[in-house]
Structure 1
Amino acid sequence: MILRRIVLLLLLLNLAAAAWWLWPWHAPTPIAVTQAGVPTLHLLHEALPRAATQVPAAAPGALAQCLSVGPFTTQAEMQQAFAALVAHVPRIQYRVAESAVSRGWWVYLTAPGREQALTMARALAAHGVRDYYVITAGEQQNSISLGLFQDPGNAQRREAQLRTLGFPAQLRQRVEQVPQYYIEFQLPAAAGFVWQAHVAHADILHAQARPCD
């Protein structure tokens, strides 16, 4: 009787072991436990998605920034800078503006006609004035030029010298309208763009923020 019970117990144990191995167990779902202020840990392949290797796009609604750079004194200088920047900025254009440039201070005499101008020239020579020139054509015809000076102080002394000798010398600043060239462009969305690295003689140019039209 005892032997029969032992054999029956061993049979039941074998059946229980077989059922354990054959039952379709599933691995438990891990539960993420987080604490306020502590970042969640990720596996390495989860922390480095493929999109992370791409250049991030500009944030939607970000305001564009534009600059106006110049003035360039010649069209050739402007074109050279334009060609150097065009591949690095989203938008670019140039504009031409007229600017008044001083060409110095002019001391002169006026005469109503050629004979009066020649008579005044002989009088200047008689007073020891040698630096003069009678203008025979153009808008200032029959005027006598007594010098063009970059320094207004020198021009004023020359005028005073002639007036002391009795000549009604006049003083006028000569102004000329000349074209000046500017480049206007939009800065790239990525930070750190230095436009000066692409433009020759950038240290003598002026950059000013402007609206992006």
Structure 2
Amino acid sequence: MFVRALFMLLLALNIGGACWLAFANRPPADVAPATDPGVPRLELLAERDGDDHAELASAPESPADLANDQCRRFGPFPTQADARAAMTALTPLTKRIRVREEHATQTRGYWVYLPAMPTREQALATARALAAKSVHDYYVVTAGDQQNTISLGLFRDQGNAERRRAEIAALGFSPKVNTRTEDLPVYWLDFALAGAEPPDLASRVAGAHEAHLEATRCQAY
């Protein structure tokens, strides 16, 4: 009986010692400092407060600042590359500058024609009448929205188109002149001057012969 009790006591002591070794608090391992002494800790933007984020954003100009600015627009330029080249030349003179795209209707030429006839046969008969009066530069449209129309020429210059119309009208026909247009993108520079406007500002942009400078209302951008 005594031997059995001694055995149970030793077993309990062994179990207790094993548990103490397994669960006892261990001293913390040495941790290397995140930075050298005297150097501020590196802080990620994601760790910063919302107020700090606001400080990083560019604050727009106040209405009072805009009221004191001198703003201009310069253009139009036919391509974005032309506008970018002008922007490079003018940027040193500005507080802020941007390229802005607009769409403009531009004249592409003038079309002289005889309006569409009701039938193909009538269009061909009119064409023969033109040929009989020594008019040979015409074309009978055979398909599409202008079918049975007789084209008498496309002209870049309006004066030439009007002379052609008068020439055909003198032969007893009733030609029309239609202005051909196209909607195309054009590009402008909007900017606020950094100081007084130089008298030669526009001439500083090479090749901008058709561009012009205008005063405009200041905007934040």
Distance 1:182 1:134 in 2: 42
What root-mean-square deviation, in Å, do the aligned CA atoms of Structure 1 and Structure 2 show?
Answer: 2.7
Matches within 5 A, 1:56-67: 63-67=68-72
Which has the higher Rg, Structure 1 or Structure 2? 1
> Which residue of structure 1 lines up, in the alignment, with residue 215 of structure 2?
209
The percent of aligned pairs where both chains have the same amino acid is 47
Aligned partner of residue 211 in structure 1, secondary structure: coil
- With structure 1 as the length reference, what TM-score do the two structures score? 0.60
* Structure 1 runs of 4+ with >4 Å offset: 190-194
Question: Would you say 1:90 and 2:95 are equivalent positions?
Answer: yes
> Which residue of structure 1 lines up, in the alignment, with residue 31 of structure 2?
none
**Superposed displacement of residue 162, structure 1:** 1.8
Q: 1:80 to 1:135 in 2, by over 3 A?
A: farther
Aligned partner (choices 75, 82, 85) of residue 80 of structure 1 = 85
- How many pairs were matched up? 154
- With structure 2 as the length reference, what TM-score do the two structures score? 0.59
Amino acid at match of 1:147: G
Aligned partner (choices 117, 122, 125) of residue 119 of structure 1 = 125
> Which residue of structure 2 lines up, in the alignment, with residue 170 of structure 1?
176
Distance 1:143 1:198 in 2: 50
Distance 1:136 1:91 in 2: 56
> Which residue of structure 2 lines up, in the alignment, with residue 143 of structure 1?
149
**Superposed displacement of residue 123, structure 1:** 2.3
* Residue deviations 1:69-94 (CA, integer Å, cap 9, x gap): 00111222112222343455221112
Aligned partner (choices 184, 190, 199) of residue 205 of structure 2 = 199
Q: 1:157 to 1:195 in 2, by over 3 A?
A: closer
Aligned partner of residue 91 in structure 1, secondary structure: strand
Aligned partner of residue 99 in structure 2, secondary structure: strand
Tell me, which stretches of 5 or more residues in structure 1 are unaligned?
1-59
Aligned partner (choices 82, 88, 110) of residue 105 of structure 1 = 110
Aligned partner (choices 171, 182, 192) of residue 186 of structure 1 = 192
Q: 1:136 to 1:79 in 2, by over 3 A?
A: farther
**Superposed displacement of residue 98, structure 1:** 2.2
Tell me, which stretches of 5 or more residues in structure 2 are unaligned?
1-63
Q: 1:192 to 1:158 in 2, by over 3 A?
A: closer
Aligned partner of residue 180 in structure 1, secondary structure: strand
